[in-house]
Amino acid sequence: MMIETLIAVTLVGALVTFVAPNRIAGKLAFLISLVPAGLSLWLFAAFDGSGNALLDGDLAFESQVEWLQFGDYAISWFVGLDGISLPLVVLTTILTTLAIVSSWTPIDERESQFYGLLLFIETNLIGVFVALDFFLWFVFWEAVLIPMYLLIGVWGGPRRKYAAIKFFVYTNVASLVMFGSFVALVFGLGDEVTSFALPEIASAMLAGGPEGFLGLGGTTLASVVFVAMFLGFAVKVPVVPFHTWLPDAHVEAPTPASVLLAGVLLKMGTYALLRFNFTMFPDQVEAYAVPIAAIAVISVIYGAMLALAQTDLKRIVAYSSVSSMGYVILGLIAYTQWGVGGATFQMVSHGLISGLMFMAVGVVYNATHTRMVTDMSGLADRMPVAVGILVAGAFGYMGLPLMSGFFGEFTIFFGSFGSEQLPYSQVFTPLAMFGIVIVAGYLLFALQRTVFGPYHLETDYEVGHAPLHDVAPMFVLLGLIILLGVAPDVIFEMITDAVDPIIANGGEL
């Protein structure tokens, strides 16, 4: 019952924080968040699972209890962990704790509601990564949207209402497309499945696939569902051309919400693609490899070019997330052990690096009250510690060796360049690698303008050293980025153990 304990403690903590007095809410939320963080680290240390959760793997901390009966199909409370989901659960709990600490400076109204919503998001994010019944998973998936909508809409910037509505509409419509298509697939499988348990559905798909539904033959139905689910998850990732909600959401969201949005919420999309599309539909992965790889490369290059054109530091980091997620999609579609394993590793790595970058931009904004590159320069002399961490995070984004970004990108490129499953892999991979050059261009340009040179600030604020509680979370993230860069097998070994069964069904080991 360890997973249930983890979810229950986080949910109860969210409710307690929500009704706590504002003056103690921040410290209380931090103390409460240490419990799920500690529990997730204990799960990591005690992990004894093997294989893939959907492909007859030996699940860790598994529990299954029948919940509802929907016609001929059972809906269960079914949770468990494998080497793909566990690192993302740990990422979620650690980032939430650090995001709470980073909130102490900028959040000064309705604190109890703000911190309660952060913990409620954490509850549902954990549920997304541990749920193995489709209906249960979808409940957690949708429940993430509501608190993020409120965080943006209530505590966001001047255009917060527009950004919150756009975020909710984009992601909710995408969810409806995904939900309807997957339910049609389950009905199309006929007597092959008797529940919405994902391992049972995956087994039926790999054994022969659907018989047909709504006048569509089995192969056609599988292709339609694959495309519909890919599009639904692509909005959450997001990839071009479904990315337009992301910069608005990031710019208007308060910094802690941006940390969780970039660090974990975007990983929901890539995690779901791996769990559903790339596990259950090996034939369709091969059939649609070229257009998916093209989308990945376009996202890498176009996202980087958009970042290059920005003068708002938050928009720069937001668009860089579009580019980084393009690398993850390329690794997945390579359908090799190194490609898919590297993509999964990159989900965790990008969560840490993007969280660090948004925190650093938030600290700069707290001190200067501007995010515009043209409004400031020479900050290194006034706030050297925060600026030093910002520079280190930027180098992590550029793929500096001995940082996690380097290992993630290297394994993706290594897996995709030699992929026999991906046509034109030796064209797609070099094109994607060119994105690193653009990344270095826009990050170095932004850093050169803001942190170096003579001191200048357009706003009337005195800039000094950032408070300890602002820089401490960034030190933790930087330490984790270096740890995974120096010793990637801390998580990569368990990742590849869970990825290998997927590849064995249709890719290249």
Identify which of 323, 333, 330 has the alpha carbon closest to the alpha carbon of residue 301: 323
pLDDT value of residue 40: 97
pTM comes to 0.95
**Using an 8 Å Cβ cutoff, are 209 and 218 in contact?**
yes
Residue 61, H or E segment: strand 60-70
CA dihedral 315, 353, 137, 278 (to 10 degrees): 100
Residue 395, H or E segment: helix 384-397
Packing angle, helices 289-308 and 425-450, rounded to 10: 20
Residues 440-486 have pLDDT tens digits of 888 998 999 898 888 888 887 777 778 889 999 999 999 999 999 99
Q: Report the 10 Å Cβ neighbour count for 395.
A: 19
Length of the chain: 509
Identify which of 381, 382, 375, 284 has the alpha carbon closest to the alpha carbon of residue 333: 284
Instruction: Answer whether residue 128 shows pLDDT above 70.
Output: yes
66 forms beta bridges with 76
pLDDT value of residue 199: 95
Residues with Cβ within 8 Å of 378's Cβ and at least 6 positions away in sequence, in order, are 451, 452, 453, 454, 455, 456
Residues 79-117 have pLDDT tens digits of 999 999 999 999 999 999 999 999 999 998 999 999 999
Give the residue with greater pLDDT, 507 vs 398: 398
Residues 380-408 have pLDDT tens digits of 888 899 999 999 999 999 999 999 999 99
d(CA 455, CA 453): 6
Identify which of 343, 392, 277, 282 has the alpha carbon closest to the alpha carbon of residue 87: 343
pLDDT value of residue 508: 53
